[in-house]
Amino acid sequence: MVDDEEGIRNVLGIALMDLGHPVYTAAGYEDALSLFRRETPGIVLTDIKMPGRDGIDLLKTIKQESPDTEVIMITGHGELDLAIKSLKSAASDFITKPIQDNALEIALRRAEEKIALKRQLRAYTEGLEQLVEEKSRELIVSERMTAIGQTVAGLSHSIKNIAGGLKGGAFVLEKGIELADMAYLNRGWEMVKGNVDRITRLSMDLLNYAKTIELNYQMCDPNQPVIDIVSLLQGQAADKDIQIRTTLIPDPKPLEFDPEGIHQCLMNLVVNGMDACDAVVDSRTEKSINIDVTDLADWGVAYRVCDNGCGMKEDTQKRLFQGFFTTKGTRGTGIGFMMTRNIIEKHRGDIDVKTVEGVGTTVTLKIPDPALIDLS
C-alpha cells in the first residue's frame, strides 16, 4: 500500500489487516518498487498523486514487470481523468478518498476474483499444452519408423505451435475480462477462432499427406507475420519472463510470398528461442528474443530471430536440418527446422544459423521478391 501521507498509510494499513491481509507500506515510487520486488505481493494499492513519480508511473512499471499483479488506484475528488487513464494502463480498479470500508472491501474482492480467474485460465492452457506434448511424444515413435510418421510428427509440431497461439488468445481474452474491454475480448476471440481454423487446415493436410506442399503466393505486408506471431506468443513469453522485441520495416511495400508458410517458419523459430531462453538458469540475465524485419533493396526481405538463450554446440548446429534430429530430447519432433528450411527453399530463399553455446542463437531467413528476381 503506497501513499505519501503517513496518516493514511497507518489508517488504511489497519483497515487492510482487519480484512485479513498482511500489509507492506511505502511512501513513494522508489520505496514502493523496491518493496514490491522484494515481497512480490499479489495486490498493490497506490495513491495516484504523489511527489516525484506518481502512482500511474508505479502502475506501469509494476505491470511491465509483473502483468498478473492487480493494482488498485486511490484517487481524490476531481481526479476522474487520472482514474480513467490508470484503467487504460491495466489498473484493476480505483477507489476515491475518503475511503469507505465497503468500497475498499469490494475492490479487494474484485482483485482477488481476477487473480483466481487468471490461475484457472493458466491451469487450463497449461493442461492443453501438456496434453499436446504427451500426444506428440506418442507420435514421435511411429514417425521415426514410417514415412507417414514424418508427416504426422510435423503436424504434431504445428499443433504445439497452435496451442501456443490458443494460449496467446486466452491471454488477450483474460485482459478483456480484466478491463471489461470489448475490443480486447473481440481480438482475443478472433485469435482463438483463427487458431481453430488452423487446426482444421492441419486436418486437411493429414488427409492429403502424400501431396507435395505448394506455396500459396499472395501480396502481403512483410511485417504482418511478425505482428501476428508477437500477438499470439506475447502472453506465453511474459509467463516465462521473456521479453519479445521487434523492429519492423517502416512504411513497408507489399511483397508476394506465402504468408502462412512464413508464419509457420517464424513460429517455429520463436518457440525454439523461448525454449532456449527457458533453459537459461542465470536469473541475472534478461531473457529476450528480438525479431527484425529488413527491406533488402532490389532483392526481397529478411527476417532475423535472435535469442539470448542456451545456444547450441557446434555438432548440434551441423545436424539441425537432418530429419528427426531434435535439440529438445523427447519434447521435440525434429521437424521444425526441417519444415522451415523446406518452406524457405520453396521460396527460393536462404536460411542462415549462427549460434554460440551459452550465448544464444540467431537465425536469418531471406526471401526474394518475385517482382524483382526471376524465380523460374
**Mean pLDDT, rounded, of the chain:** 82
Enclosing H/E stretch for 131: helix 101-143
pLDDT tier, 348 (very low <50, low <70, confident <90, very high otherwise): very high
**What whole-number percentage of the chain has pLDDT above 70?**
83
The amino acid sitting at 280 is V
Task: Give the residue among 297, 307, 306, 296 at the shortest CA–CA distance from 366.
Answer: 296
User: How confident is the model at residue 209, as a pLDDT?
Assistant: 38
Assess whether pLDDT exceeds 90 at residue 160. Answer: no
Among the listed ranges 124-128, 265-269, 330-334, which one has the minimum average pLDDT value? 330-334
C-beta of residue 105 within 8 angstroms of C-beta of residue 84: no
292: β partners = 247, 304
User: How confident is the model at residue 334, as a pLDDT?
Assistant: 45
Residue whose cell numbers read 515413435: 141
Measure the CA–CA gap between 348 and 217, rounded to whole angstroms: 13
User: How confident is the model at residue 336, as a pLDDT?
Assistant: 64
User: How confident is the model at residue 168, as a pLDDT?
Assistant: 84
Cell triple for 302: 529478411
CB hemisphere CA count around 78 (13 angstroms): 1
For residue range 43-89, list pLDDT tens digits in order.
999 999 888 898 999 999 999 999 889 999 998 877 788 888 888 88
Among the listed ranges 5-14, 132-141, 283-292, which one has the minimum average pLDDT value? 132-141
The amino acid sitting at 34 is S
User: How confident is the model at residue 312, as a pLDDT?
Assistant: 81
C-beta of residue 157 within 8 angstroms of C-beta of residue 172: no
Assess whether pLDDT exceeds 90 at residue 226. Answer: yes
User: How confident is the model at residue 70, as a pLDDT?
Assistant: 92
User: How confident is the model at residue 132, as a pLDDT?
Assistant: 76
User: How confident is the model at residue 158, as a pLDDT?
Assistant: 65
Cell triple for 17: 489487516
User: How confident is the model at residue 316, as a pLDDT?
Assistant: 67
Q: The pTM is what? A: 0.46
Cell triple for 278: 527457458
User: How confident is the model at residue 252, as a pLDDT?
Assistant: 92
User: How confident is the model at residue 210, as a pLDDT?
Assistant: 39
User: How confident is the model at residue 42, as a pLDDT?
Assistant: 92
More confident residue, 186 or 209: 186
pLDDT tier, 208 (very low <50, low <70, confident <90, very high otherwise): very low
Read off the pLDDT of each residue in 220-240 and give the average, rounded to a whole number.
92
Q: 311 — alpha (psi -120 to 50), left (phi > 0) or beta?
A: left
Cell triple for 183: 475490443
User: How confident is the model at residue 147, as a pLDDT?
Assistant: 44
pLDDT tier, 167 (very low <50, low <70, confident <90, very high otherwise): confident
pLDDT tier, 122 (very low <50, low <70, confident <90, very high otherwise): confident
Question: Which residues are CB-contacts of 250 (< 8 A; sequence separation ≥ 6)?
Answer: none
Say if strands 287-296 and 300-307 run parallel, antiparallel, or are unpaired.
antiparallel
More confident residue, 102 or 374: 102
Assess whether pLDDT exceeds 90 at residue 204. Answer: no
- Largest Cα–Cα distance of the chain, in whole Å? 78
CA dihedral 223, 265, 230, 40 (to 10 degrees): -150
User: How confident is the model at residue 341, as a pLDDT?
Assistant: 83
pLDDT tier, 301 (very low <50, low <70, confident <90, very high otherwise): very high
For residue range 30-49, list pLDDT tens digits in order.
999 999 999 999 999 999 98
User: How confident is the model at residue 275, as a pLDDT?
Assistant: 87
* SS3 call for 363: strand
Please state, in angstroms and as integers, the Cα–Cα distance from residue 116 to each residue in 68, 103, 284, following that order.
11, 20, 30
